[in-house]
Amino acid sequence: MSAVGPKATCATCPHACSLAEGQLGLCRARRNVGGVVTCENYGRLTSVAVDPVEKKPLAEFHPGCTLLSVGSYGCNLCCPFCQNYEISQVGPDDIGWREASPAKLVELALRCRAEDPRMIGIAHTYNEPLVGWEYVRDCSLLAREKDLVNVLVSNGCASPAVIDELAPLIDAANIDLKSFSPAFYQTCGGDLETVRSTIARLAGEPSCHLEVTTLIVPGMNDGDDEMRALSGWLAGLSLDVVLHVTRFFPRWKMSDARPTPVETVHRLADVAREELSHVYVGNC
Ligand code: SF4
Ligand code: SF4
């Protein structure tokens, strides 16, 4: 039986899914309910952990502290090397979750802080948080009232209106800049220009500390010229931007690939250091 009822278009990301009544979006997190695209994964947590800030990764934001890190399900990209595909590439019928309203999440964060004052706030991470951006917004507003910090770990592939709404609420962000090649982003179902726009917007937000991660995948984005262009562009935004150059390990559709040679990661980090003063290697 075909769906009836009004179609609706989602404005959250460049996919602009046009959804029939009851249909899930490509990210599996949003659904057309009665002609309105709703955030169906709102408050549905699949992963909850207290992680060191360094694990996000954030290298220059409250080192030694921890964050209550939460994720749901769903993502608007489908990177073949996804490390979190068990939660990013599934929908509501494929995985269990537990409900946590923003008030409940903030309450949990306050309990964690009472037990350990190094716990300074909440990180939205693991799957892609921006496909459920309303939850990030509502939690962040409440967290601010309690002097908790808000951290966003994201692929950055969301519409400028979403980023504009969240930017003033985010204290620190780590955004993937997976490559400087539009073709690479097409492989992942994403859009380089949108990600660049997100990074530029957050770099210009005075209250947001920005770090960027580039995962080096052998044969896909491991050329010196690409890293030179990527880091040069970041340096043009701000010399304070922190860049993580990280090592790929075989995963999901790339389980048969070899890990990135450690020397490649160090070589590309050195290339980035020609432009930027805050460059770190990861997973080496
Ligand atoms: S957020 Fe999800 S539903 Fe909305 S346009 Fe992007 S992929 Fe489609
Ligand atoms: S954007 Fe991140 S979570 Fe989404 S598929 Fe790619 S690696 Fe996985």
CATH number, domain of 112, equals 3.20.20.70
End-to-end Cα, the chain, rounded Å: 52
Per the domain annotation, does 94 fall within a domain?
yes
Per the domain annotation, does 3 fall within a domain?
no
Q: Is 163 in the pocket of ligand 2 (CB under 6 A)?
A: no
Q: Would you state the pLDDT for residue 4?
A: 66
Give the span between the Cα atoms of 142 and 154, in whole angstroms: 20
Look at the block and give the residue holding tokens 């931007």. Answer: 241
Give the span between the Cα atoms of 91 and 44, in whole angstroms: 11
Per the domain annotation, does 235 fall within a domain?
yes
**Closest C-alpha to 205, from 241, 251, 234, 167:** 167
Q: Would you state the pLDDT for residue 5?
A: 75
Number of domains present in the structure of the chain: 1
User: How many angstroms separate the Cα of 230 from the Cα of each of 24, 195, 209, 226, 271?
Assistant: 34, 12, 19, 6, 10
Give residue 6 CA to ligand 2 midpoint distance, Å: 30
- Give the start-end residues of each E strand in 163-241: 172-176, 209-216
Per the domain annotation, does 176 fall within a domain?
yes
Give the span between the Cα atoms of 80 and 58, in whole angstroms: 24
Q: Would you state the pLDDT for residue 22?
A: 97
Q: Is 217 in the pocket of ligand 2 (CB under 6 A)?
A: no
Ligand 1, residue 30: give the atom nearest the CA: 3
pTM of the model: 0.97
Report the chain (284 residues): mean pLDDT per 10 consecutive residues.
76 98 98 97 98 98 98 98 96 97 98 98 98 98 98 98 98 98 97 98 97 97 98 96 97 95 98 98 96
User: How many angstroms separate the Cα of 10 from the Cα of each of 13, 15, 29, 168, 237?
Assistant: 7, 8, 11, 23, 30
> Best substitution site from 79, 153, 215 to test ligand 2's pocket, by max atoms within 8 Å of Cβ?
79
**Closest C-alpha to 262, from 210, 234, 222, 227:** 222
Q: Would you state the pLDDT for residue 6?
A: 84
Per the domain annotation, does 61 fall within a domain?
yes
Token representation of residue 217:
């995948």
User: How many angstroms separate the Cα of 245 from the Cα of each of 65, 125, 127, 177?
Assistant: 22, 19, 20, 10
The domain of 141 spans: 8-282
Per the domain annotation, does 2 fall within a domain?
no
Q: Would you state the pLDDT for residue 47?
A: 97
> Best substitution site from 18, 30, 130 to test ligand 1's pocket, by max atoms within 8 Å of Cβ?
30
Question: What percent of the chain is helix, strand and coil (3-state, nearest 5)?
Answer: 35, 25, 45
Give the span between the Cα atoms of 42 and 131, in whole angstroms: 9
List, for residues 160-194, the tens digit of each pLDDT value. Answer: 999 999 999 999 999 999 999 999 999 999 999 99
Residues with CB under 6 A from ligand 1: 10, 12-13, 15-17, 25-27, 30, 76, 131
Per the domain annotation, does 1 fall within a domain?
no
> Best substitution site from 7, 13, 157 to test ligand 1's pocket, by max atoms within 8 Å of Cβ?
13
